[in-house]
Structures are given as C-alpha cells and as structure tokens.
Amino acid sequence: MQDSCRSCMYGEWLLRKQRGWEDVIEIVDCIQGNEWSQYAIDNNIDKTPTLLAFDEDGNEIARLEGGEHFTTDFWKATLEKHRHEM
C-alpha cells in the first residue's frame, strides 16, 4: 500500500471492515518519503496496491496487483480461506 494511492486507501478501508484481518494480512507502506521502501524493492513491487502471499518459509507463492481486485467479496473469501490454513 501507499498513503497517497486512492485504490490502496479504498482497498485497505474494505479490508479493515473484516473481522480478524490482522491475523492473516500485514499492511506495509511501500513508499518512504518519495522513494520505494526497501520492502518494496526486495519484493519487486513497482505498483500499488499489491498483495503478496508467502509460504511458511517466506517464499512468495502468489501476487495480485491492482485496486480493482480488492473488493469486499475478495477480502471475505481471502480471509476465510487463509484463516483455516493458519
């Protein structure tokens, strides 16, 4: 996410409306000052919003880019699926 991104802010707002999201998802600001953060650089993030999924060993297993994906239904389904995997 990044503070100045409208799609990020809207997607985050929808996410935060879901109970227990903090147990599944970590929100990371990818911009520090006017530069990409080290996290964004290390994970090859060049646009926001971007959702990354990692396995238990820290390997990226999925990536989804673009605000059009992060709807209420998307967050509900994602949280329901991944709550059970924890």
Q: What is the pLDDT of residue 83?
A: 79
Q: Is 26 exposed, middle or buried (0-12, 13-18, 19+ CB in 10 A)?
A: exposed
Single out the residue of 10, 7, 77 nearest to residue 49, CA to CA.
7
- Kindly report, residue by residue over 33-86, the tens digit of the pLDDT: 889 999 999 999 999 999 999 988 999 999 999 999 999 999 999 999 887 765
Chain segment 2-36, per-residue pLDDT in tens: 988 999 999 999 999 999 999 999 999 999 988 99
Model pTM score:
0.85
Domain spans of the chain, in order of start: 6-78
* pLDDT given at position 85: 63
What is residue 82's predicted lDDT score, i.e. its pLDDT? Answer: 84
pLDDT for residue 31: 93
